[in-house]
């Protein structure tokens, strides 16, 4: 069984975007699950991760990719690097960042703050080796170079590994409390919406319309019988 390439998820992103290899071929080469590779192609996984070219890094040859594109059953082979990189022992304390990479560290912090707000300060400090004061300044946009900062993936910058980033993100997701789903306002009961008050005269004819007075309201018996007395019935 061959080892996984450096930055396997970033390598998978590059292979999905730049080759016609199958999901199974990419998953096998990058040591990922085929559904995870499918999620990368659909934009549901590894959002914001910049693809890593395995050809320029000497992990995969162009001929090997073309061979895999012609034959979907071909198993990609990882090139053996001639340079042996000693394994770095993990030690407690802040991560050491090379001098050539320290200028990119604020950009990496900004990327983590925007793309992974669930990460705690201690996790970001552990990933990129920053200080709490610098992290706070970038969060509050009081950093001296805040206007010129550009979010950049710390994995592609070499400040941390994809495995470390995934570990911290998954760890933060487990610690996050469950959010109650907000269903918004509920419907008003039908008994309330269908209830209607009796219409008044103003509701029907408007306030300016003259009110019609029924004869029964002002019935004058004396005046009516007086008219009957004066009437001539042709006697």
Confidence at 1, pLDDT banded by 50, 70, 90: very low
On whether both 109 and 166 belong to a single domain, the answer is: yes
Residue 115 lies in a domain: yes
> Number of structural domains, the chain?
2
Single residue among 155, 175, 195 that ends a domain in this structure = 175
pLDDT in tens, 10-50: 999 999 989 999 999 999 999 899 999 998 888 887 777 88
Residue 112 lies in a domain: yes
Q: What is the pLDDT of residue 43?
A: 82
On whether both 106 and 66 belong to a single domain, the answer is: no
Residue 228 lies in a domain: no
Residue 84 lies in a domain: no
Note down the domain range covering 25.
8-70
Asked whether the predicted pLDDT for residue 142 surpasses 80, the reply is yes
Single residue among 150, 175, 200 that ends a domain in this structure = 175
Q: What is the pLDDT of residue 24?
A: 93
What pTM, to 2 d.p., does this model score? 0.39
Ordered DSSP codes for the chain = -PPPPSSHHHHHHHHHHH----HHHHHHHHT--HHHHHHHHTTSSSTTPPP--TTTTTSS-HHHHHHHHH-TTPPP-PPPPSSPPPPPPP-SSSPP--TTTGGGHHHHHHHHHHH-TTS-HHHHHHHH---HHHHHHHHTT-STTGGG-----TTTTTSS-HHHHHHHHHHHHHHSPPPPP---SPPPPHHHHS--PPPPHHHHH-TTSPPPPPGGGG--HHHHHHHHHH-----
**What percentage of the chain has pLDDT greater than the value 90?**
28
């Amino acid at each position: 069984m061959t080892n996984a390439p450096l930055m396997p998820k970033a390598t998978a992103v590059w292979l999905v975007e730049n080759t016609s290899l199958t999901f199974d071929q990419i998953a096998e080469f990058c040591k990922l699950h085929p559904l995870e590779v499918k999620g990368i192609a659909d934009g549901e996984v590894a959002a914001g991760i910049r693809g890593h070219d395995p050809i320029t890094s000497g992990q995969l040859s162009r001929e090997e990719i073309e061979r895999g594109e012609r034959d979907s059953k071909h198993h990609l082979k990882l090139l053996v690097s001639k340079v042996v990189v000693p394994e770095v022992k993990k030690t407690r304390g802040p991560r050491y960042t090379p001098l050539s990479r320290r200028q990119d560290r604020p950009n990496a912090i900004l990327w983590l703050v925007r793309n992974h707000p669930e990460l705690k300060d201690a996790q970001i400090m552990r990933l990129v080796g920053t200080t709490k004061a610098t992290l706070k300044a970038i969060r509050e946009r009081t950093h001296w170079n805040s206007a010129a900062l550009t979010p950049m993936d710390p994995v592609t910058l070499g400040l941390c590994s994809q495995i470390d980033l995934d570990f911290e993100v998954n760890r933060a997701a487990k610690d996050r409390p469950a959010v109650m789903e907000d269903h918004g306002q509920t419907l008003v009961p039908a008994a309330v919406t269908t209830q209607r008050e009796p219409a008044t005269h103003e509701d029907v004819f408007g306030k300016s319309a003259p009110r019609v007075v029924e004869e029964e309201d002002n019935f004058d018996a004396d005046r009516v019988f007086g008219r009957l007395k004066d009437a001539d019935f042709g006697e």
